[in-house]
Amino acid sequence: MSVIYNRVALIGLGLIASSMFWAMKRKGLAGEITGYARSAETRDTARRIGLCDRVCDTANEAVQDADLVVLCVPVGVMGSVVAGIADDLKPGATLSDVGSVKRDVIDNVSPHLPDHVHFIPGHPIAGTEHSGPEAGFAELFDNRWLLLVPVEGSDPKAVAQLRALWEGMGSNVEEMEADHHDLVLAVTSHAPHLIAYTMVGVADDLRRVTDSEVIKYSAAGFRDFTRIAASDPTMWRDVFLTNKDATLEILGRFTEELFALQRAIRTGDGEHLHDYFTRTRAIRRGIIEAGQDTDAPDFGRGKASS
Ligand code: NAP
Residues 119-151 have pLDDT tens digits of: 999 999 999 989 999 999 999 999 999 999 999
177 φ, ψ (degrees, to nearest 5): -80, 150
Q: Work out the burial of residue 134: count CB atoms within 10 Å of its CB; fewer than 13 is exposed, 13-18 middle, 19 or more buried.
A: middle
- Domain count for the chain: 2
Of the residues 145, 176, 207, the one at which a domain ends: 176
Which atom of ligand 1 is the closest one to the Cα of 131? Answer: 2
Residue among 18, 56, 72, 85 whose CB has most ligand 1 atoms within 8 A, to mutate: 72
Of 176, 192, 227, the position where a domain reaches its end is: 176
Given a cut of 90, whether residue 283 has pLDDT beyond it is no
Q: How confident is the model at residue 305 (pLDDT cuts 50, 70, 90)?
A: very low
Q: Is residue 275 part of a domain?
A: no
User: For the chain, how many residues are written?
Assistant: 306
Interval between CA 43 and ligand 1 midpoint (Å):
13
CA dist list (Å): 282 to 67, 190, 220, 255: 44, 21, 21, 22
Same domain, yes or no: 237 and 122: no
Residue 102 domain-assigned (yes or no): yes
Q: Is the same domain home to 229 and 254?
A: yes
- Checking if the pLDDT of 53 tops 70, the result is yes
Q: What is the CATH number of the domain that holds 26?
A: 3.40.50.720
Q: What is the pTM of this model?
A: 0.92
Are 120 and 62 in a shared domain? yes
What residue spans of 59-135 are helical by DSSP H?
A: 59-63, 78-85, 103-109
Rounded-to-integer distance, Cα 136 and Cα 234, Å: 18
17 lies in the same domain as 116? yes
| Residues 171 and 207 placed together within one structural domain of the fold | no
Q: How far apart are CA 3 and CA 68, in angstroms?
A: 12
Give the residue, by CA position, lying nearest to ligand 1 atom 42: 127
How many C-beta atoms surround the C-beta of residue 177 within 10 A? Answer: 12
Distance 62 CA to ligand 1 centre (A): 16
Tell me how far the alpha carbon of residue 106 lies from the centroid of ligand 1, in angstroms: 17
Ligand 1 neighbour 82 (Cβ under 6 A): no
Q: Would the CB of 78 count as within 6 Å of ligand 1? A: no
- 200, 229 Cβ separation under 8 angstroms: yes
Nearest CA to ligand 1 atom 17: 38
- Give yes or no for residue 212 having a pLDDT over 90: no
- In terms of Cβ atoms closer than 10 Å to its own Cβ (0-12, 13-18, 19+), residue 47 is middle
Pocket test for ligand 1, best of 235, 236, 239 (most atoms within 8 A of CB): 235
Mean pLDDT of 4-18: 98
- How would residue 245 be classed by pLDDT, with cut points 50, 70 and 90? very high
**Domain shared by 168 and 232, yes or no:** no
Residue 276 lies in a domain: no
Residue 261 within a domain: yes
Strands 118-119 and 94-97: parallel
Question: What is the span of the domain harbouring residue 147?
Answer: 5-176
- The answer to whether residue 36 is domain-embedded is yes
3-class DSSP assignment, residue 230: coil
186 and 71 in a common domain: no
171 lies in the same domain as 195: no
Task: Determine whether the shortest distance from the Cβ of 100 to ligand 1 is under 6 A.
Answer: yes
CB 149 within 8 A of CB 121: yes
Q: How far is CA 119 from CA 95, 128, 274, 301, 306, in A?
A: 5, 26, 48, 41, 47
Distance 73 CA to ligand 1 centre (A): 4
Binned at pLDDT 50, 70 and 90, residue 210 comes out as low
Verify that 148 and 106 share a domain, yes or no: yes
290 in a domain, yes or no?
A: no
Report yes or no: 71 and 97 within 8 Å, Cβ to Cβ. Answer: yes
Q: By three-state DSSP, how is residue 238 classified?
A: helix
Residues 58 and 40 in one domain: yes
Per residue in 153-167, pLDDT (tens digit) is: 889 999 999 999 999
Of the listed ranges 31-35, 48-52, 67-71, 197-201, the one predicted with least confidence: 197-201
Judge whether 53 lies within some domain.
yes
Strand partners of residue 147? 123, 174
CA-based torsion, 6, 11, 13, 16: positive or negative: negative
Contact assessment for residue 78 and residue 97, using Cβ atoms and an 8 Å cutoff: yes
Mutate to test the pocket of ligand 1, among 71, 100, 193, 237 (most ligand atoms within 8 A of CB): 100
Pick from 176, 204, 238: which residue ends a domain?
Answer: 176
For the stretch 67-82, pLDDT in tens is 999 999 999 999 999 9
| Residues 245 and 144 grouped into a single domain | no
The answer, yes or no, to whether any atom of ligand 1 lies below 6 A from the CB of 105, is: no
Residue 72 CA to ligand 1 centre (angstroms): 5
Best substitution site from 45, 85, 98 to test ligand 1's pocket, by max atoms within 8 Å of Cβ?
98
Ligand 1 atom at minimum distance from 127 CA: 40
Residue 45 within any structural domain of the chain:
yes
Do residues 128 and 193 share a domain?
no
Query: Which CATH number characterizes residue 199's domain?
Result: 1.10.3660.10
